[in-house]
Amino acid sequence: MMSPIKSTFKRKPWLVSIPLVGFAVIAGLGFWFGKPGKADAGQAAYQTAVITRGNLSTDITGTGNLAAGRQVDLGFSTGGTIRSINIKLGGQVKTGQVLATLSEVDQLQNTLEGWQIKLKAAQKTLNDLLDGGDKTLAQALKELAAAKEAHIEAKKNLHSAGDGRCAQAKTEEYYYQYIYAQDHVNEWEDYLQYGNSGYGTNYILKVLKPMREERDKAYYNMKYCESYTEQEILQSQADLQLADAKLKRAEKVYQVLLANAGIDPVQVEIAQAQVENAKIQVVKARNDLDGAVITAPVDGTVVALDAEEGDIVVAINKIQNSNGDGTIYTSEFITISDLSTPYLEVSIDETDLQNFAAGCPAQVTFDALSNRTFSGEVSEVDPVLTRANGETTAHGLVKIKNAEMMPGKTLLLGLTGTAEIACSSVQDALLAPISAWYESSDGSSYVYVLNSSGLPEKRPVEIGLLGVAHVEIKSGLSEGDSVIISQVELDQTASS
């Protein structure tokens, strides 16, 4: 929708209190005005005009300001600091030309390449899963066999309270070793205690030391063989439970792989998720990189440039004010306009709306360019009317053709212009002066002609195109007929 434009309008003529729409007549029509009709004595003299053929067109007038045919606002979609601006205000740019870049371009490029590598790795993992069914199934069978062996070993090593660690004979052997050693220790300890051996104390202690060590060793061996510790019993139970869980897991994995030709659906699902995530990250990284470089989407002229190198960019859709330390936070800061095909944004009075349509030819003049007329065409009509200061207006766009002030120099945006728009026309039509035309309350049309007695006679007619000074007669009159164009005395009219 086009923005409202303040405009002025040409006022439309009125006839006998009947409002008419503004029109223009193609010059060169031949009419006879002021020719008195015949009348008897005492009758009023009437002015008449002859019905003739000619061309007629409607003209409406609209005013407005010149706007670019195409205009784009550009900015970075990635946040960062502006490193370079490669254009100047008023400069010409070509489609695809790099206009500005951010300092973060290199970092963003590395991020993109990193995710591309991760994507390749994730895709390879997925492909290996899908292509390595036989190998995976064989590995699963191998792992199942190992789990069974581990389970058998854990079951063999399960201990309970009262279980002997060693064979009974071995335990008894350690027992007797202990008893024998203890007897020797007792004998020499008596020597030490009672002193009746004839040996010195130092000698007795020297003999006792290895005897005691032998006794203690035999005791520990006996106790070791007699039973397991509580901690060992608990650990053996835990080892069996773990081996049992691993065996069940290995059996389940093998059965699933066997049913799916060696392909693990869970692993495939995980691998696919990793691939999709990497793809998303690659797209995001590429968008961030693309958003750090501004390129021209169209050929045009730089009409706005509102930032400088070093300014901080935020990824928003509006220009931010300075934060107080002199740093400008900005987003869209470049405007490119195509000035080769500008448009006049025109406003017209609502009474002219019926003669305002896309495709209508127009002649455009500008206040600042005297003696210059540009050809144009209505390209768009706004479907919404606006009302301001008691007037209702319609709006549209008039495309200007050959829009150059001089060779190589385009028209300036914002110029105030006037468009004369001719939407309807007829050729070689019967034409009557508009002052001869009357309209009844039911909408039917009629004119007055002089009868053979010189009295006005009402004649029904069908009208077509209306002009400022003339109206098209489609039926009811013939070429050469005369119609009254002066005021009719109603009390002197003939019976119709």
Per-position DSSP letters for 168-232, written without gaps between them: HHHHHHHHHHHHHHHHHHHHHHHHHHH--SS--HHHHHHHHHHHHHHHHHHHHHHHHHH---HHH
Question: For the ranges 9-23, 40-54, 453-467, which has the lowest average pLDDT?
Answer: 9-23
Task: Provide the b/e sequence for 37-56 (b: ≥16 CB within 10 Å).
Answer: bebeeeebebbbbbbbebeb
pLDDT confidence bin for 84, thresholds 50/70/90: very high
Average pLDDT over residues 30-42: 45
Spatial separation of the C-alpha atoms in residues 183 and 163, rounded to whole Å: 29
The domain 31-58+425-492: what is its CATH number? 2.40.420.20
The domain 61-69+339-421: what is its CATH number? 2.40.30.170
Average pLDDT over residues 305-333: 66
Q: Over 70: is that where the pLDDT of 15 sits?
A: no
End-to-end Cα separation, the chain, in angstroms: 53
Class of domain 70-104+292-338: mainly beta
Question: For the ranges 31-35, 217-221, 363-367, which has the lowest average pLDDT?
Answer: 31-35
pLDDT of residue 483: 94
Residue 20: phi and psi, rounded to 5, are -120, 155
% of residues, the chain, pLDDT over 70: 86
According to DSSP, the β-strands at 293-295 and 98-102 are: antiparallel
Question: For the ranges 36-45, 108-117, 157-166, 191-200, which has the lowest average pLDDT?
Answer: 36-45
Domain boundaries, the chain: 31-58+425-492, 61-69+339-421, 70-104+292-338, 164-226
Q: Over 80: is that where the pLDDT of 26 sits?
A: no
207 within 8 A of 133, measured Cβ to Cβ: no
The residue that leads in pLDDT, 77 or 28, is 77
How many angstroms separate the most distant Cα atoms in the chain?
A: 194
The residue that leads in pLDDT, 304 or 323, is 304
Average pLDDT, the chain: 83
Task: List pLDDT tens digits, range 328-370.
Answer: 455 788 999 887 778 898 998 888 777 788 888 888 989 888 7
Spatial separation of the C-alpha atoms in residues 308 and 328, rounded to whole Å: 9
Average pLDDT over residues 212-222: 94
Average pLDDT over residues 417-432: 88
Q: Examine domains 61-69+339-421 and 70-104+292-338 and report if their fold is the same.
A: no
Q: Over 90: is that where the pLDDT of 14 sits?
A: no
pLDDT of residue 10: 31
Average pLDDT over residues 70-76: 87
Average pLDDT over residues 249-258: 86
Q: Over 60: is that where the pLDDT of 470 sits?
A: yes
Q: Over 60: is that where the pLDDT of 4 sits?
A: no
Q: Over 90: is that where the pLDDT of 391 sits?
A: no
% of residues, the chain, pLDDT over 90: 44
pLDDT of residue 13: 34
pLDDT of residue 456: 92
What 8-state DSSP symbol labels residue 58? -
